[in-house]
Structure 1
Amino acid sequence: MPAFSSNCPDFLIVGGGVIGLSLALELARRGDHVTLVDKGEVGREASWAGAGLLPPANQQHAWDPQEQLRGLSHRLFPQWSAQLREETGIDNEFEITGGIYLARDPGEAASLRMARVQYEEEGVEAEKLEVGQIAQRFPHLQVSHSILEAMYLPGEAVVRNPRHLQALATACRQQGVEIVENTEIQTWNFDGERLQSVSTAEETISPGATCLATGAWSQLVADHVLDQGDFPGRMQRPEIEPIRGQMVLLDAGERFFEAPINEGIRYLVPRRDGLVLVGATVEEAGFDKSNTEEAIADLTEFARQWVPRLHDAKVVKSWSGLRPASVDRIPYIGKLPGLENVFLAAGHYRSGLHLSPATAVVLAQLMRGEQALIDLHPFRVNRA
């Protein structure tokens, strides 16, 4: 039985993470015929493994394209969440909870002060907290004079990312997107600078345009694509590396605090059902997604230091994901250099979930030949 019902979709999306699913859904909602291919199951890599944190942003006051991308996503996320719930019946548990940011290290304290200034310049409410205020407003926190700087962001939101991905995949199917899982593209067939077709073990597909949204594997996939074409000279290629992030899930029995707690790269994110996500490491470990005893113990101790009540919380499980990080930590959103109809959306590092709605909207515009809402020049693949 063939894997595809049609050999000539308007668009082919390679990769079924939050970026690929969001883009496929945006194109399908615009009336396009979309096929999505994933080498495994959709929604099971970095976007599934994260914590679902959505920092605040303000599109109205954003002038830099990166800030505009964040601002657009911040505006779109509640709209997308409500529409997904209405269409699919799946609640991704989006809610504005506020977020607490703490620093005990002098360097982190300086970074937190700079972050607060930047938020204020962008028109985002950012409140400086004194130690006494922390103890009064957040009694679950272990407060000591070792806290050098503290900030509260009332506009921070969270989403239950596995359910968000489930809702995206369901909505895609409802909109007619052909999702093909556990399938790899083996050959890429070009006529000059134009991709004519791709072939899997079962089928040949001839899309109008293609987008690579393959997360931490995007550099490998892009290299594979470019190596199969007869292109003159040396072509600029994306540089993306996998950054491992380990996570721990605790069961507190009930939800007794709402706002996520952040210190440096680590955080605690409470869920409605009493589960608490604790993350995350930042490790250059290649494509190794295993957990280490040292990291899991460190994350668990981190949680219990800040929230003493978690000393009795059961460790439910641990896992890790591979974040796709570009060299400059700015995502790639645009055409692969030298190709007419092959695009790339990858390298979002720790912000893939957060930036997914805006990335989908502006890239759908670009792929359809429309004027993008945001200047995508800073996100071009050949910016190096």
Structure 2
Amino acid sequence: MNDFLIVGGGVIGMMMARQLADAGADVTLLERGHCGQKASWAGGGIVSPLYPWRYSEEVTALAAQSQSSYQPLTQALLDETGIDPELRSKGLLYLRVADEADALAWAEQTQRPLEVVDGAFLYDKEPEVAPGHDRALWMPDLASVRNPRLCQALRASLIARSNVRLLEESEVTGLEVDENSREVLGVRGRQMMFAARRTVLCNGAWAGELLNDLGVASGIKPVRGQMIAFKAEPGLLGRVVLMDGRYLIPRSDGHILAGSTLEYTGFDDRTSEDALDSLKESAYRLMPKLRDCPVAHHWAGLRPGSVDGVPWIGAVPGYENLYINAGHFRNGLVLAPAATQLLSDQLLGQATQIDPAPYQPAVRQRALAETGGSHH
């Protein structure tokens, strides 16, 4: 019997599988479609919460650890698989920040480099940004990763491990529970049952559904995000630029991503014309030259929304051998290395680098009850 059964093959599930396998465990990973093709693929790949000073300490702690993990992780994946996740550490320019004082206070407190720069600095870095800005906030060490490539590299690295079984096109329809002991024995799929000593839910927005079936309220539900990519010449944009909650992200091949919407539409991951128009307008406001660039792609993903953006990481209360790592909302990719390390360490009986208490499902449930289950 397998040591671990992981449900969900996004960035969180694949990193969990890799860490547990590297510790010598036998792991089976089940993915309803193709690994890394859902929210992990759909995001922008910025390795930071968009406005990090607006987040709770719980999110900040995980983000800080993850940011220092991405360089060695992407290098290891490139060495192992030959697939380059394209980590770019070119910084981020914030335009029109209403709570600038809060941002600077946060930067001082957390020792993160963040400074006010003038228009000359801004246009020296990014000449094509819309004219008329006389100041910006500059975060020089911010990185972005090309998330589809990261997912491809993680998947290839799992396939290369003899103690990992990767089963794609394997939708989980429910959990197999011993009604007397409340022990989770594994999961049911369309055709078969999979058994394991311990089961870990890493299936993002779908984790809330499986928990609902057990009578566990989590507040984890899908939040649609739509994005577009412009086909542009390399060099038009060098770094991430953010204004009024919308951003542009450059890729090495010249593509420029523009995102993103925040929509509560259930499990509907279709794109809409309204969103396309809105994203194009935001992009043109940031960089007028994009009017000359065709939209090459338009897609949508479902983020695992949680009540305050703090993920559920740990043992699910009321059941034996059932764990969860989900509910990372907009920051799944940002928090993934630290969030998966935190749960792997607990599952393997090792000391954790971050206090696990605030992320425990029992604690998150109390927070859910206090907020009445509304998402911020």
What's the TM-score once normalised by structure 2's chain length? 0.90
Corresponding residue of 1:180: 167
- Of 277-286 and 200-209, deviating more is 200-209
Corresponding residue of 1:362: 342
Whether the 8 Å contact between 2:91 and 2:141 is mirrored in structure 1 is: yes
Within the candidate set 320, 327, 346, 1:347 is matched to 327
Corresponding residue of 1:115: 103
- Of 215-224 and 187-196, deviating more is 187-196
Corresponding residue of 2:374: none
Could you say if the C-alpha distance between residues 56 and 346 of structure 1 is closer, same or farther in structure 2, counting changes exceeding 3 Å? closer
Corresponding residue of 2:137: 151
Partner deviation per Cα, 1:281-330 (whole Å, 9 max, x = no partner): 11111111122212211211222222222221111120111111111111
The Cα of 1:237 is off from its aligned counterpart by 2.7
Matched ranges for 1:1-384 at <5 A: 8-55=1-48, 64-103=57-96, 109-144=97-132, 150-176=136-162, 177-191=164-178, 192-224=181-213, 226=214, 236-383=216-363, 384=366
Partner deviation per Cα, 1:141-192 (whole Å, 9 max, x = no partner): 11215x6x62010010010000000000110111231111111234533331
Whether the 8 Å contact between 1:116 and 1:151 is mirrored in structure 2 is: no
Could you say if the C-alpha distance between residues 118 and 222 of structure 1 is closer, same or farther in structure 2, counting changes exceeding 3 Å? same
CA distance in 2, matches of 1:193, 1:364: 23
SS at match of 2:319: coil
Could you say if the C-alpha distance between residues 48 and 343 of structure 1 is closer, same or farther in structure 2, counting changes exceeding 3 Å? same
Whether the 8 Å contact between 1:112 and 1:150 is mirrored in structure 2 is: no
CA distance in 1, matches of 2:151, 2:308: 27
Whether the 8 Å contact between 2:48 and 2:331 is mirrored in structure 1 is: no
The Cα of 1:56 is off from its aligned counterpart by 8.4
SS at match of 2:129: coil
CA distance in 2, matches of 1:294, 1:326: 25
CA distance in 2, matches of 1:350, 1:187: 26
CA distance in 1, matches of 2:254, 2:118: 28
The Cα of 1:72 is off from its aligned counterpart by 1.2
The Cα of 1:199 is off from its aligned counterpart by 3.2
Specify the code of the residue in structure 2 equivalent to 1:309: K
After TM superposition, the runs of 4+ consecutive aligned structure 1 residues lying more than 6 A away are: none
Corresponding residue of 1:3: none
Unaligned stretches of 5+ residues in structure 2: 51-55, 367-376
Unaligned stretches of 5+ residues in structure 1: 1-7, 58-62, 104-108, 228-235
Whether the 8 Å contact between 2:313 and 2:360 is mirrored in structure 1 is: yes
- Of 28-37 and 123-132, deviating more is 123-132
SS at match of 2:44: coil
CA distance in 1, matches of 2:106, 2:324: 29
CA distance in 2, matches of 1:129, 1:323: 33
The Cα of 1:64 is off from its aligned counterpart by 4.5
Could you say if the C-alpha distance between residues 240 and 186 of structure 1 is closer, same or farther in structure 2, counting changes exceeding 3 Å? closer
Partner deviation per Cα, 1:242-264 (whole Å, 9 max, x = no partner): 11111111011223321111113
CA distance in 2, matches of 1:188, 1:66: 29
Whether the 8 Å contact between 2:243 and 2:286 is mirrored in structure 1 is: no
Specify the code of the residue in structure 2 equivalent to 1:364: S
Whether the 8 Å contact between 2:186 and 2:198 is mirrored in structure 1 is: no
SS at match of 1:206: strand
For this pair of structures, how many residues does the alignment match?
A: 356
SS at match of 2:131: coil
The Cα of 1:65 is off from its aligned counterpart by 4.4
What's the TM-score once normalised by structure 1's chain length? 0.88
CA distance in 1, matches of 2:173, 2:297: 35
CA distance in 2, matches of 1:361, 1:307: 38
SS at match of 2:105: helix
Specify the code of the residue in structure 1 equivalent to 2:125: R
